[in-house]
Chains A and B, each alone.
Chain A
Amino acid sequence: MRVDDADRGRVWLRDLLGEVTNAQAWNGGKPRTHLNLAFTYLGLVALGVPKPVLGGFSKEFRQGMADRAALLGDTGQSDAGQWEPPFGSGQAHVLVTINAVDDDAVADRLRDLRAQIDSDGGLAIVYVQHAHLLQGAREHFGYADGFAQPAIEGTDEAAKRVRGGGVPLKDGGWRPLAAGEFILGYDDEDGSPPNAPPDPYGRSGTYMVWRKLHQDVALFRRTLRDAAELYEDGDETKLRAKVVGRWPDGTPLVTSPEEPDATFEPNADGSNDFRYAGVDPTGGRCPLGAHIRRSNPRDALGWDGLLSFRHRMIRRGMPYGDPLPDEAVEDDGAERGLVFVCFNASISRQFEGVQIQWLNDGNIFRLGHDKDFLMGDSTATAKMTVQGDPPFFLAPQPSFVTTRGGEYLFVPGIAALAAIAGGA
């Protein structure tokens, strides 16, 4: 939404405060909907947040994603100049996220929201994006996604997620990550709270990255089909898995390099408990440049994970658009892809670090300038080596993924929301 009037905008926010989902436990079972708020820098300015507070937000947040798009590899067809309005135009101020059990619940909540805005005035809805889980919790290329998340100290899920989701330890065990890697106001892995705007604005808040990523599923299918003709007697499924680092059901390649593991259950305890350095240092099982190995190298960069542990993110993305029918290899022109969402205490160290150094370049993996073959940057991915005897090469291709737009946002804690609404 765009804020057109600071006073009215704050009234609307004040009215909505009671409905914002917080960290309290659910007494009556799972609610029908959740509602959360996030703000771009320009949104905070538009709502009249005081100057000294504004200066406390990070440089990259204040600059905004569009200005940094080239740095992120959003060039060519993903260039910020071609983003869908309002992204990058300065008009995206407030993001209202509604999570719901079904489409009807979303529709109801959205209707109430619109009614509230009409009555309060001072704001306009400038964009609506629907997203929904696909069958089997897969994303559009067909891969189980979203179940691997960081284990965070002090959370209920830490114990369940820590094996695989935490920091790998020398003895083969794991430990959870400090909360301050993801939430401001808490000690981070450096032992002190991360940079944040002054209290109460910073406390319990976090930075959010929102990106609409269009996926050309047909191009992905055709490309891998054609490339697989020369691969191990045409094993397309395996070649695709080599690009991703997992089989479609989520089985990690590194633990199961020849075929998916029928017993693999993404949400089971320890499903994410694997690492690379000891069992697969040269990439013969899971290629050195495979997507999941790039986005979360675990201990693969050497020194027991010391170079990776400060670049984790909480991901809450969701697919949008209807799936392309299973056998189709020609694009139907429909809009589909991933609404990528992540939360971190430092956009530059975490999200941007991974995007720029690990996805859009290969140096840290000793892969020269090879980029992530799945996501790459838009001026065509470089080749990808599938390590083996002999190695197999995927030739450079046009990108499968196009950035349609995005924003850097701040998610205030409850007290901070009240402060913003109060105009204090």
Chain B
Amino acid sequence: MFLLRRLRPDPNSPLVRLSFIHFARWTVVKRIPHNEGQPREKLRYKHLFFESNFNGGWEEYIDAFSHILTAGMTKLWGSSYGFPKPLPTAPFKDYIRRNEIEASHFYSAYPDATKSMVSAALDLDQKLAAFKARACDLEPEQFSREWRAFLTDVQADL
């Protein structure tokens, strides 16, 4: 059908640099398992299921996919019926709206945090641990200098 490769979060990959997706997945549903009592189901087509946990506005998100992940979008969705090209954005957005399913219940362990906040917090955590290790027992003047350097180093995380 199409190639599904392992997706490692390479810091330079567009998905990572776009910085608003926490987790995303693409799954091909080829067959539905059978259970007792269930009317037998035989799928005529394979179906692509896409789920994303992201921040920001829906429009901005789709625009980013259209303009920036253009090649990736085509590769992943190119073999789906009705998929228009990712650009122009209007038919692409219509395609997504037509095929979107709303969740009946959604849960997040940290609903207020954006993906870049999480990354910033994790980076800060690492740097703070290193700072504490070297600075907690210094003389105040020296501590002050180290603090200034630390703050300069982590300002993008705050």
Contacts and interface: CB of A to CB of B under 8 A. Distances in A.
Complex contact flag A–B (Cβ < 8 Å): yes
Interface of A: 190-192, 282, 302-303, 306-307, 310, 348-349, 353, 356-357, 363-364, 366, 368-369, 385, 387-391
A307 B120 contact: no
Nearest to B151: A390
B116 A368 contact: yes
B155 A387 contact: yes
A366 B113 CA distance: 12
A363 B20 contact: yes
Contacts of B67: 303, 306-307
B71 interface: no
Interface centre among B60, B87, B88, B156 (most CB of A within 10 A): B60
Given A366-B116, A368-B114, A387-B155, A307 B63 contact: yes
B90 interface: yes
Contact of A192 (B17, B59, B60, B90): B90
Contact of A363 (B87, B114, B152): B114
Contact of B90 (A190, A303, A368, A388): A190
B155 A191 contact: no
Given A363-B116, A363-B117, A353 B59 contact: yes
Given A306-B67, A310-B63, A357-B60, A366 B120 contact: yes
Main SS at interface, chain A: loop
Contacts of A369: 112, 114, 117
Given A363-B20, A363-B114, A385-B155, 18 more contacts: A191-B88, A303-B67, A306-B64, A306-B67, A310-B63, A348-B59, A349-B59, A353-B57, A353-B59, A363-B117, A366-B116, A368-B117, A369-B114, A369-B117, A388-B152, A390-B151, A390-B152, A391-B158
B148 interface: yes
Contacts of B151: 390-391
A385 B158 contact: yes
Contacts of B59: 348-349, 353
A411 B158 CA distance: 43
Interface bin, chain B = 20 to 34
Interface centre among B20, B55, B116, B155 (most CB of A within 10 A): B155
Contact of B152 (A306, A357, A366, A389): A389
A348 B20 CA distance: 20
Contact of B56 (A348, A357, A390): A357
Contact of A364 (B17, B56, B68, B156): B56
A414 to B, nearest CB: 27
Contacts of B19: 366
A359 to B, nearest CB: 13
Interface in B118-146: 120
10 contacts: A190-B90, A192-B90, A307-B60, A363-B114, A363-B117, A366-B120, A368-B158, A387-B155, A387-B156, A390-B151
A343 to B, nearest CB: 19
A369 B120 CA distance: 12
Nearest to A303: B68
Contact of B68 (A306, A363, A390, A391): A306
Nearest to B117: A368
Interface string B84-125: 000111100000000000000000000010101100100000
